[in-house]
Amino acid sequence: MRRRSSASPGRDGEAAPAAEGSLTQSVERALSILSLFTDKRPALRVADVSAALGLGQSTSSRLLATLEALGYVTKDPQTGHYRLGAEVIRLGGVALNNNELRRQALGVLHEVSSATGLGANLSVLRRYGPVDWGIFYLAHFDGAKAPRTYTLVGRRNPLHATGMGKVLLAHLPERERQALLDALPLPAYTPRTLTSHEALEAELEAVRDRGYAVEREELAFGRACVAAPIRDRTGQVVAAMSLSGPLSAMRLEQREAELAQLTIEHADGISQQLGYVSAPAALLIAAG
């Protein structure tokens, strides 16, 4: 009797283990290629993919050709550079349109951005690697006083140098927060960035006490924000909202209490839509 090859189909047309492993590897490699595209590096050559993933150029070329045929990347015929394709945009739209937190927040963000002329932002905590955490933007609206030429949706920013990052860190369960802080690198983005764990922990305690976070030129010169937590029906902090803009528009020296109250009120509005019942923002500001 002929012995069946391990690479041949099994019963009911199922792939044998060797074939399954090969398919899994191809999927992993294809997804790894898509993950190489970033805002700082939106175009890649075959050689770039090969070097980044440790693959042969022929393998990289075949994978890119497959992704191109499926619409996930496009190739510039003149330069040979690949960019993300329309299929990625389609999938991103599906994910965004079906994100309940974002759907509940959009109206509130648009309202406060239009009323203040400032940017209104929504983000969640996301893990990017074993010791690599950051905020992940789900939505934003740019006011007349804080225009941008690009979208923040899908971007990441550091926890320790952003108002929303501080809010999300401050409201983690104590054991989880301490474990994260022990491993979290604190690079400086400006001279104002908090780069010691002691200073950051003191700031997080202040965030919990007053109910909001402030960031002044800690991530980028000339910009500031005020952020507040968003809670689900159980009271757990699941996201953060911020008002942001140039220092000249924020004027935190004169307007911090005003902007903090606005941010808390609108963050609470989103929380209520998620089923949470909160105290009035004015009481939180007064208590702080």
| pLDDT averages per 10-residue partition of the chain, 288 residues | 45 57 85 91 94 93 95 94 95 91 94 94 88 90 79 89 97 93 93 95 96 96 96 95 94 94 96 81 51
With the CA atoms of 66, 67, 69 and 73 taken in that order, what torsion angle do they form, in degrees rounded to the nearest 10? Answer: -150
Reported CATH class of domain 11-87: mainly alpha
Cα 113 from Cα 157, distance rounded (Å): 21
pLDDT of residue 128: 81
Cα 188 from Cα 167, distance rounded (Å): 19
Cα 123 from Cα 118, distance rounded (Å): 16
pLDDT of residue 7: 45
Q: What does DSSP assign to residue 193?
A: S
Cα 112 from Cα 60, distance rounded (Å): 47
pLDDT of residue 143: 83
DSSP H helices, the chain, are 17-36, 46-53, 57-69, 86-97, 100-116, 163-170, 174-183, 197-210, 247-250, 252-273, 281-287
End-to-end CA distance of the chain: 82
pLDDT of residue 287: 52
pLDDT of residue 12: 52
**Residue 143 class from Cβ within 10 Å (0-12 exposed, 13-18 middle, 19+ buried)?**
buried
Q: Do residues 194 and 255 make contact, with C-beta atoms less than 8 angstroms apart?
A: no
Amino acid symbol at 27: V
pLDDT of residue 76: 95
Domain extents in the chain: 11-87, 99-287
pLDDT of residue 149: 63
To the question of pTM greater than 0.75 for the whole model, the response is yes
Note the Cα 78 to chain centre separation in Å: 34
Q: Which residues, at least 6 apart from 255, have a Cβ–Cβ distance to it below 8 Å?
A: none
99-287 maps to which CATH number? 3.30.450.40
Q: Which residues, at least 6 apart from 231, have a Cβ–Cβ distance to it below 8 Å?
A: 237, 238, 271, 274, 276, 278
